[in-house]
Amino acid sequence: MIDNVSVALEMNTMHIHQADPAWIAVSAQKPSYQADRSSAGEESAQSVTVTTFEITNQTSLPQQFYIERADWYNNAVTATRVTSLQKFRDLFSHEVLRPGEEIGIQGMTLLFSDLVGSTAMYNRWGDAASYALVREQFAFLQRIVRDCDGAVVKTIGDAIMAAFADPANAVAAALAIQKEVYTFNTRHSEPLVIKLGLHYGPCIAVNLNDRLDYFGTTVNLAARLEGQSGGGDLVISEAVRCEPGVADLLAAEPVTITQFATSIKGFDDHFCLYRVRYANGKSKVKSKA
């Protein structure tokens, strides 16, 4: 039987709860020493104050003591965030959930894209030349989504569905896509016009066709918001607009933001939406519900 245990704890990171004062005694000594800690790649060390706690067993019987950290570990990561990383999905997507199992996700930002006029382009240019342009589009869409800490969930014809844990990253990706389209069109005689819609909310994750996919109202609404886009812009929901970081991001870009209310096919409610467009951008096609 151990009567006394001394534990060195970093100050303000752990808590000891005394269940019964008659059984144990917990005493905190004054800070006993300073420790320097640095993470890999950091240039300077972080000074950490360490306090020693003494736990005394005041009974004649062995006791068990549990020490738990009350807050999140600095290197902890949630399933929402890790499954929205492209590299994780590339390596482990089919291993996350068993077939038939589903999990609820508290909040995920979904982005849907659509290439305007692709059918007409195939008719004008033929399959090979048109698909070469579509393939280039996929290449920069995937690169931008990855660079903004998102992941391409799947391609749908000439469009993509992408997921982001942080709504601000999703908006940053959408803006970067429209910038890239402008640059792309300066190099090609056949201009591309891309429509984008984004929504944030809860959904469910399932393994389907060896791929981690998302389903639910949030997914359906995000897909419908792409239909509200006029091309060369992005349409975001109120849920995305109100998320921390999104307002600051939009304020730093030369964009115009137009608020509008509309009904959306398949939904009973009217929705308050925001059309975001670079100041010199022009709508290429008429939006649809």
pLDDT tens string 17-63: 444 444 445 555 544 444 444 444 445 555 655 566 666 777 777 76
* Residue 288: per-residue pLDDT: 39
Mean local confidence (pLDDT), 201-207: 89
More confident residue, 227 or 102: 227
* Residue 4: per-residue pLDDT: 47
Mean local confidence (pLDDT), 119-123: 86
* Residue 93: per-residue pLDDT: 66
pTM greater than 0.85 (yes/no): no
* Residue 50: per-residue pLDDT: 57
pLDDT, tens digit (0-9, with 9 covering 90-100), for 243-281: 989 999 999 999 999 999 999 988 888 899 999 998 765
pLDDT, tens digit (0-9, with 9 covering 90-100), for 60-94: 777 676 666 666 666 677 777 777 878 777 777 66
Chain centre distance of CA 262: 26
Q: What CA–CA distance (Å, rounded) separates 119 from 124? A: 9
* Residue 131 CB partners (closer than 8 Å, separation 6+): none
Cα-based torsion angle of the residue sequence 145, 143, 152, 172 in order, rounded to the nearest 10 degrees = 10
* Residue 69: per-residue pLDDT: 62
Domains along the chain? 4-69 (no CATH), 79-278 (3.30.70.1230)
* Residue 276: per-residue pLDDT: 96
Q: What token pair was written down for 69?
A: 């950290």
* Residue 229: per-residue pLDDT: 94
Three-state DSSP class for residue 78:
coil
* Residue 169: per-residue pLDDT: 96
Span between the terminal Cα atoms of the chain, in Å: 72
* Residue 66: per-residue pLDDT: 66
Residue in the structure block whose two tokens are 């059309």: 275
Q: What CA–CA distance (Å, rounded) separates 284 from 289? A: 16
pLDDT, tens digit (0-9, with 9 covering 90-100), for 140-189: 999 999 999 999 999 988 899 999 999 999 999 999 999 999 988 888 77
Phi-psi region of 68 (alpha: psi -120 to 50; beta: other; left: phi over 0): beta
* Residue 208: per-residue pLDDT: 78
